Amino acid sequence: MDSNDTYIPKSSVSRSVASRRLLIGLLQGLALYLVYQAAENKLWTAGNSGLFAALLLVLTLVPVLLISALGHIPARTLWRWLLPAAAVLALLGFYDIWRGVGAPYWDTQKFAEQARFPSPQLWLHAVAGFFIAHAMVGAAVLDGRRIAAYRSYFESASKLLIQVAFAAVFTGIIWLVMLLGAALFDMIKLAFLKDVLDEAWFAIPLTTFAFAYALHITDVRPAIVHGVRSLVLVLLSWILPVAVLLIGGFLLALPFTGLEPLWATKAATALLLAASAVLAVLINAAFQDGSVSAEVALPIRIGAKIAALLILPLALIAAYALSLRVGQYGWTVDRLVAAFCLVVAFCCGLGYFWSALRSPQWLSRIAPVNIVTAFILLFLLLAIFSPVLDPSRISVNSQLAQLKAGKVSAAKFDYEFLRFEGQRFGNAALKTMAADTSGKDAAVIAVKAKAALQRDALWNMEPQKLDAELLAVNIAVRTPNAALPASFLTQNWKDTIKTNTWQYPECLHNSGRNCDALILDMDADGTAEVLLHEQGGSLHVFKRVKDIWSLAGAVDLPGNCAPVNDALSMGKIASAPANMGDVVIAGRHYRPVSRAPLTCPQTVAGKP
């Protein structure tokens, strides 16, 4: 066969493999049902949730790997792959539960009190990681060597991706048909099918059996899989010139616009990484297994070569943006994940740049770059869900270092980050901070840490009841020589706010939010009002009537306006007579509100 001929694999799966695959799918469903039933019967507790999570991961993913490998990987080699895979999954499940001990549980559903499920992040990355690893193992077996040829990796990975996608769609359609049948029977007062579908003993095995059947069907029809793959790759490759035009134009415009507009988005790193990923996917859609270079249209060939040169500058700008954020605010889980993504982006960027300049044939050298990058990606996926590079542990240490170094004040430190994203490491730190009575700002730190430990959800639908001590920490008075009235701090704001939380600044009902306070007599009645301002939000005016404080109104302010924010932070504010009187209707006063767009005044910061 000529090296440029299209390779269409033949099915090597016997009929006996079909029965074994279907049996495995059925047994997988029964095993998952037993684990589910044990959870319903409260056999899983907080103490054995690690075993529960390990079983779920192993019983969900390992049978799928086994079904996919039957008929392609010899039995001895297969078990040498599946047993370590099961061990790794089990250890990841145990560690995922262990690291969450002492932290609020991400799921508040049915089994939250009895057993903890693996986190959604672990599920997603375990599926991705074992997909890559399984495809690489399959390619190595196909070639009979540990590091396979790139063509084998491409065939194995693309086939597996399409098989899994088709199996998921097929399983979803099976369920739609079953639900349609149940609805039809229910209309004539026959609810047996609806009742059966609601039963876990039927629903779980049905799902796993359908998925196994679909994997088998796609495996014995490789020509269909190949045709779908070819169509998808051709369509994607024709998007490449458009992406190159847009992303290349963006990079060319940066010297004229500067980087400030990019930083203002506060999502520069994520957007640049997304652009890099799009280019990498489209380049590989055009390159495929490397054997189609002579057939690729000229616009795609040129576009792919330019795209290979663009990933590196995108990664460099993204790294610079991330370094600025980390330098200012330290590491967080999101920033660490972005850093791991940047490692992959730099592998692609440097390798593709080199390939575009030095490949003897059209981009031929991106093949070894992709193989090396795949191994690095597998290492990172394993490391970040293990103690090696746990983002929660690293980010907690970074944030505590920021606080210790004085880069962030004790009042504005993000204690909620430790509570909800720091896992057991952050919550252990909070307990230490709550008990510590020595050191600078120890009282403020202890109050905020205790409040954070009392929260069970990051987004509370109900307002919190904050005591006077915590309110005094949350609210910084910016008016010189002024203080918040005692009655304002001791008022039960939870009862005042009730369900209208959206009308009030969060610092009054959320222990993790801060406000600036200004004390000013707005109506010249001899009694000062309290004005609360959250960064980027409105200015809320509170008036006291018989020692009861109520919201008198709010002033809309332009967002992200430095002169306004600077003036308020220095207490530079004054009242002035209204330009227009109230409208009185049925004895009630209504004040006209300007509908003109809010603009940021171009004045010297600090002047009212």
pLDDT mean over 211-235:
88
Of 122 and 595, more confident: 122
Using CA atoms, how far residue 344 sits from 217, 371, 553, in Å, is 34, 12, 51
d(CA 250, CA 253): 5
Residue 109 has pLDDT above 50, yes or no: no
**Strands 583-585 and 588-590: what pairing?**
antiparallel
Which residues, other chains included, contact 245 with Cβ-Cβ below 8 Å and sequence gap of 6+?
Answer: none
- Residues 501-525, mean pLDDT to the nearest whole number: 87
Q: In the numeric block, which tokens belong to residue 94? A: 């145990």
Residue 12 has pLDDT above 70, yes or no: no
Query: What letter does residue 292 receive in the DSSP assignment?
Result: -
Cα 402 to Cα 450: distance, rounded to the nearest angstrom: 20
What mean pLDDT is predicted for residues 334-341? 96
C-alpha–C-alpha distance, residues 238 and 246, integer Å: 14
Q: What is the dihedral of CA 451, 456, 461, 464, to 10 degrees?
A: -20
Q: What is the pTM of this model?
A: 0.85
Mean pLDDT of 100-112: 67
How many other CB atoms are there within 10 angstroms of residue 560's CB atom?
A: 11
162-191: per-residue pLDDT in tens? 999 999 999 999 999 999 999 999 999 899
Strand bridging mode 539-545 / 515-520: unpaired
- 481 φψ region: left (φ > 0), alpha (ψ -120 to 50), beta (else): left
pLDDT of residue 68: 93
- The answer to whether 494 touches 532, Cβ cutoff 8 Å, is no
pLDDT band at 607 (very low <50, low <70, confident <90, very high): very low
Asked whether the predicted pLDDT for residue 451 surpasses 50, the reply is yes
The CA distance from 54 to 230, in Å, is 38
Tokens of 119: 């986190």
Check if the beta carbon of residue 312 is closer than 8 Å to that of residue 350: yes
What distance in Å separates the CA atoms of residue 433 and residue 30, rounded to the nearest whole number?
Answer: 47
